[in-house]
Amino acid sequence: MKKTFIDLDLINLNLEAQDKIEAIKILSGKLYEKGKVKTSFFNAVLDREKKFPTGLKTKFISFALPHADSKHVNSAGVAVGLLKKPVKFKSMEDPDNNVNVKLIVLLAVKDKSKQVIVLQNLIKMMQNKITTQNILSSNDDKELLLLFQNNLFVKNNNY
Amino acid sequence: MKSKKKIIVACGTGIATSTAVKSKIYDYLKEKGMNVEIDQCKISELKSQIENTKADLVVTTGPVGGNYNLPVVNGVSFLTGINEEKTLNEIISYLKT
């Protein structure tokens, strides 16, 4: 799974977007080019985001986890965008508030039982001071890719 | 003996954030010596899920609306790591009643 789940084509350092819609469109396009999601995925993500926003803020990073129902997904993966300029997402905690998001992790979830570890590790990464510092100071796509590859698939990653 | 307490974790699609929150709650409660049963579902399926499982408590990561006649706890803190302990204590207090 590791090799196909995320690769260099799905990493976007210095992502430039006017707003969350443009950012999600670019990242959805990357997943689509890889055959990971169906054409319906992009609209399904926007629709879900309206009803159930995914902007989150840990102590160390503001990020968003947009996703859609697995019927719009062909195979599991993530597209990662580190934004040049943050974009606003509604907050998951309180949809009346906005979060200025610096990192977008667009999830294509196919089978949740197989992706539990990845989802757990993703949340752990966002709550880890060093990891988030490394993400935010990545110099190129490769560096950013390695951070995700090295952390997402770890088993029993207690911190 | 008292039967196992049941928790439902609900999020918008029932696949991503609820999966992460479910495993966190399960591990935390296990550490505290509490063995619970946790189901997950979409928020849109919450009403029927509550009826089917006779749950004691609902934890959500999104706006649920409506009245469910059982405690509903906001579980976003398990994703942000901020105030996790407080949310956990809230969950435990409901499970003990």
What's the domain range around A14? 2-152
Residue A45 lies in a domain: yes
Of the candidates B70, B71, B6, B72, the one whose C-alpha atom is nearest the C-alpha of residue B34 is B6
- Between chain A and chain B, how many beta carbons pairs sit less than 8 Å apart? 73
Residue B17 makes CB contacts below 8 A (sequence gap 6+) with A54, A65, A92, B11, B61, B62, B79
The class (CATH top level) of B6-96 is: alpha beta
**Helix pair A129-136, A116-126: axis angle to 10 deg:** 80
Of the candidates A74, A76, A79, the one whose C-alpha atom is nearest the C-alpha of residue A39 is A74
Residue A158 lies in a domain: no
Q: pLDDT at position B2, please?
A: 59
Shortest CB distance from B82 goes to which of A59, A112, A115?
A59
Residue A75 lies in a domain: yes
Half-sphere exposure of A117 (CA within 13 A, CB side): 14
Alpha-carbon distance B30 to B47, whole Å? 27
Chain A, residues 39-58, CB within 8 A of chain B, namely: 48, 51-54, 56-58
Residues of B identified as active-site: 11
Encode pLDDT of A98-144 as tens digits: 999 999 999 999 987 888 889 999 999 999 999 999 999 999 999 99
Residue A129 lies in a domain: yes
Contact A65 B76 (CB under 8 A): no
- The CATH number for A101's domain is 3.40.930.10
Tell whether A131 lies on the interface with B, counting CB pairs under 8 A.
no
Number of domain units in chain A: 1
- With cut-offs at 50, 70 and 90, classify the pLDDT of residue A2: low
Could you tell me if B22 and B9 are in contact, meaning their C-beta atoms sit under 8 angstroms apart?
yes
Domain regions of chain B by residue span: 6-96
